[in-house]
A and B are shown apart, each in its own frame.
Chain A
């Protein structure tokens, strides 16, 4: 069958959406890629490379490569700062799009920047007044957020939902003092710190952190929060991150506080054994964090050797936050009439086909359907693309 006029909408421009769009374009399918923020790449583009003297297969570089593929592919039309408003299903899907209501969470400057040099535009003006105060600081080619976004209609033959996840909001675990104490950061924050500084620095003073603690399972596997799932990515990202830090600074003292290590992924068993010689693993989840005068953090936990509680000081505390359902899942579930599972992720037909939904023509890719790392998101997106191709009768 001819692929002429076949068109697919992909919702979400993170690694799953990028991969799905790219895979579809390989079959000559036209893709409309909708992204609510002003930048492609999602969370994955914000991650730093975790290579030591060898590649750790974290996948961060593949995101950059995929983003570049997509922006250079004429069959993929990208709509930044755009939301889906409604959709009608009458054979084809008729979709109403609108400018997204996206606002940056914390823009201290008037301009925000994409994480990839392949982002176009790379700089977006979010606060005109601030920019007018200091026009020299506005980079060339910067685009006003107000002028971005697409309002209008599209007709498409299928939809892939790839709207992703949100990192756990660590403020909900109040005793850790996230956002109260500057040197308590999340794994996500640490990715950005390393990407921006090429090394681990303390947010409070910009100095190198020597003594670092990671706390695992923050927000995951938690009945109190209603988040019973394992996020799967936090053990690998924390240990890879710790190895990266250790590789750059052999004197760094790193402690991993955990309940059990989810030993998943290629070569992970071997990698974990190496980690055991490089860091201290403490099988205890700490609870109380107290700020010290020098902005260090004193943490109380039980020492397993003698069963006594001790207070230990750290320069930096990293909370390994998990993968939570995307903030728009409820809205999108209503718009597309596709159900969520009990955890709040989108529900596939079954475990063996987690990319198809009960709604014909609507498919799922990536963390929208549950926790995944970069590689698994890409594989899932590839599977979604092939289900779409089957559905459309394209070959």
Chain B
């Protein structure tokens, strides 16, 4: 006598992977993996914390939600999206990583990223260094003056802040005005030489957005909206995001 057929009981429980598929266009192609491992061959974070993109996706597909979402590896992914670029099936692994980050209690997320996001929320500069509007203005003017004097061919170069009606709104990694101010003028020079009409904003000049890397959607949006509003208020046509 044949044994009775095995019946699979109950509904399959919704997994972390299912939830992420629901919010992504085409489910992020997350169920199309051919397990070829191209993602892992090209990933700078492969092998860190005993994890790689293929393993991460396979574990998620197997419903190992705890192991996947709690892996410290989710914070080692740089979000560079190279895995999507090389994936034959265009699978959106970085978004899966992002959603895994978002499952962490905010206070347990890595201190460096958390602290930088919180700094950016302190004032309207968007700067992860917490640099104030006045300090930024002072550094830009000081550096500009120095270059105008030292390099006569750039004596007419400008680095305006809040110039009404400029075509381009430029932001700036906020580490540079604080620790590497000489990193700023090369881009000013290019813009000067091509005759671009550009401006920084006193608000929203900080280009980095650690709140995005923190997977803190509300704060990410807050920081982004300040910069976008400043660009709109100044009547700029193009937002040049340098980060």
Interface set of A (CB-CB < 8 Å, partner B): 175, 217, 221-225, 259-260, 283-288, 300-302, 304, 306-309
* CB-based contact B41/A302 at 8 Å: yes
Return the contact of A284 from the options B41, B51, B86, B90 (Cβ within 8 A): B41
Stretch at the interface among B29-37, B105-113, B125-133: B29-37
Return the contact of B32 from the options A223, A284, A287, A288 (Cβ within 8 A): A223
* CB-based contact B34/A287 at 8 Å: no
Given A224-B90, A285-B38, A300-B41; 20 other pairs, CB 8 A cutoff? A221-B34, A223-B90, A224-B87, A224-B89, A225-B88, A259-B34, A260-B34, A284-B37, A284-B38, A284-B40, A287-B41, A288-B42, A301-B41, A302-B40, A302-B46, A302-B54, A307-B50, A307-B55, A308-B46, A308-B47
A sample of 27 cross-chain residue pairs with beta-carbon separation below 8 angstroms, ordered by A number, consists of A175-B42, A217-B36, A217-B88, A221-B34, A222-B89, A223-B88, A223-B89, A224-B88, A259-B37, A283-B37, A284-B37, A284-B38, A285-B36, A285-B88, A286-B38, A286-B41, A287-B86, A288-B42, A300-B41, A300-B42, A302-B41, A302-B46, A304-B37, A306-B47, A307-B47, A308-B46, A309-B47
Q: Does B52 contact A (CB under 8 A)?
A: yes
Which of B40, B42, B88 has its CB near the most chain A CB atoms (within 10 A)? B88
* CB-based contact A221/B41 at 8 Å: no
- In this complex, what residue of A is CB-closest to B39? A287
* CB-based contact B46/A285 at 8 Å: no
Contacting A at CB under 8 A, from B11-40, are 29, 32, 34-38, 40
Residues of chain A with a CB closer than 8 A to B52's CB: 302, 307
- The 10 A-B residue pairs whose C-beta atoms are closest, nearest first, are A287-B42, A259-B36, A308-B47, A284-B37, A222-B88, A302-B40, A285-B38, A285-B36, A287-B41, A301-B41
Q: Number of contacting residues on B, CB 8 A?
A: 23
Residues of chain A with a CB closer than 8 A to B32's CB: 223
B70-99 interface bits toward A, Cβ cutoff 8 Å, 1 = contact, 0 = none: 000000000000000011111000000000
* Nearest Cβ on chain A to B45's Cβ, whole angstroms: 10
Residues of chain A with a CB closer than 8 A to B34's CB: 221, 259-260
* Nearest Cβ on chain B to A255's Cβ, whole angstroms: 13
**Bound Cα distance A222, B36 (Å):** 11
Residues of chain B with a CB closer than 8 A to A308's CB: 46-47
- If A307-B47, A309-B46 touch, does A285 touch B41 (CB 8 Å cutoff)? yes
Interface set of B (CB-CB < 8 Å, partner A): 29, 32, 34-38, 40-43, 46-47, 50-52, 54-55, 86-90
**Bound Cα distance A155, B113 (Å):** 76
**Bound Cα distance A239, B89 (Å):** 25
Return the contact of A288 from the options B29, B41, B47 (Cβ within 8 A): B41
* Nearest Cβ on chain A to B14's Cβ, whole angstroms: 26
- In this complex, what residue of A is CB-closest to B84? A224
**Bound Cα distance A274, B50 (Å):** 33
- In this complex, what residue of B is CB-closest to A218? B88
**Bound Cα distance A308, B47 (Å):** 4
Residues of chain B with a CB closer than 8 A to A259's CB: 34-37
* CB-based contact B47/A287 at 8 Å: no
* Nearest Cβ on chain A to B75's Cβ, whole angstroms: 18
- In this complex, what residue of A is CB-closest to B55? A307
Residues of chain A with a CB closer than 8 A to B54's CB: 302
- If A217-B88, A308-B47 touch, does A284 touch B36 (CB 8 Å cutoff)? yes
**Bound Cα distance A306, B34 (Å):** 21
**Bound Cα distance A370, B225 (Å):** 52
- In this complex, what residue of B is CB-closest to A282? B37
**Bound Cα distance A260, B33 (Å):** 13
* CB-based contact B37/A285 at 8 Å: yes
Residues of chain B with a CB closer than 8 A to A221's CB: 34, 88
- In this complex, what residue of B is CB-closest to A286? B41
**Bound Cα distance A234, B241 (Å):** 44
**Bound Cα distance A112, B46 (Å):** 48
Residues of chain B with a CB closer than 8 A to A306's CB: 47
- In this complex, what residue of B is CB-closest to A304? B37
**Bound Cα distance A302, B51 (Å):** 11
Residues of chain A with a CB closer than 8 A to B40's CB: 284, 302, 309
- In this complex, what residue of A is CB-closest to B42? A287
